[in-house]
Structure 1
C-alpha cells in the first residue's frame, strides 16, 4: 500500500509542476517531487495500526551514508548522495555521528547539495562533535554540500574534485507578488548566512562571497585551496 501511495503522489506532484509551466529546471522538479512523495508516504505509513519504522523504505533504497571504525582512533564517514530530499537526512547523519567515539573523523564527501537546512544541521553537528573533523571532497561539494565543509576543522580536495557555491534557491516559483517578495527577502537572508560561513572559513568579506554566490561560482581543487575554502589538494 505504501509503495502505491508513493507512486501516486510522485506522479501527482509532477503533473501539477508541469501543468503550472515548470519554471524550475527538470532535475530540480524531479528532486522536489521525490521529496514530497517520500514525506507523504512517510506520513501515511500506517497499516493495521502499526506504524512503519522506516517510512523512507517505501522509496527506492539509497546507500548514501556509511560509517566505518566508529569506535577506533580514526572514524570514516562517507556522505555520497544528495542532502535531504530522500538522500542523506540530517537526522540520520547526526544520529550516526553521535555514536562515533573516535578522536578523529574523516568525512568523505561527494554530493550535489540538496536541502539547505539539512546541510546546516549536518554542518553544525560536525562543529559540535568533540572529534577533529577532516572533510575530504572526493568528487563534488556543491550548494548545501559546500556549506557542510565549513563545519570541518580541515578540508582536503582530491585531484579533479570541485566545489560550487550559489545563492539559496526556492524549490517552487508559485505565489502572488507579495508572497514572492517575501520569498526573495528570505532567500537573501539565507544567502547572507551562507556567505558569512564561507567568510568565517576562508577569510575575506562576506559581501565578496555573496557576489561569487550570485554568479554561481565553481572552484577546481587548486582554486578552492587558493580561495581558502580548502586547506590542501591531496591524493
Structure 2
C-alpha cells in the first residue's frame, strides 16, 4: 500500500529489526554536536546503506492510541543520497517535489518555478493534515533549517509529530550516483547544495531523527570501472 498518499494507521518502521544491512547505534562524535544530545527530548536512530533488495518490506507497526494525531516525516539530503530509494524500499509513496514537477510541467527537470512547486507541495500536505491522514512523507532535499521550518510549523500546528530522515552520505558518493542517472544535476550545483546542507537538530522541533549513512562508501563502484 502506498502509505504516503493513501490512508492507513500504520507506518513501515524507520529501522526494521529484520533488515540485514541496517544497524542501530549511538550517534557518533561530531554528528551528536549537530543534531542534539541524549539529554534532549527526541529519539535518534542510525542506519546504513546499502540495504538488501531481496528482503521483503517489514510488517507495519501499529500507531500508538494515545500519541499525537499523526506524523510528518521529512527526508533531508542531497540528490543521489538515496532518499527516493529509501522510500521505495519501504513501499512508501511520498509527497515529492519531483512528482509535482512531472504533474505540473511534464518535466521532472523543470527548475524555473520552485516557488510554485513547493507552495503546491505544502498545500497537498495541509490537505492531508486536514483530512487527518496519520502518516505523511515529504521527499525533497530540505537542506537547511529555513527550508524545513514551514513543514515543521504546519505539522505541529495540526498536532502532528515531525520526524527527520537525514541522509548523511558523502558528496563524492552522491556525485558518482548522480552521474549514473538519466537526469543529472550539474557538479557545480551539487557542490552549492552540499554547502547549504545542515544536519537536522532536535531544537528545530523534530521528535525523532534517523541518520542514514553509506556502510562502505569506498566500495561504491566507480562510473567507468569494469563490470
Structure number with larger C-alpha Rg: 1
More helix by share: 1
Please indicate, yes or no, whether the TM-score normalized by the shorter chain is above 0.5: no
Structure scoring higher RCO (CA < 8 A, sep ≥ 6) equals 2
Tell me the TM-score normalised to structure 2 length: 0.27
- The TM-score with structure 1 as length reference comes to 0.26
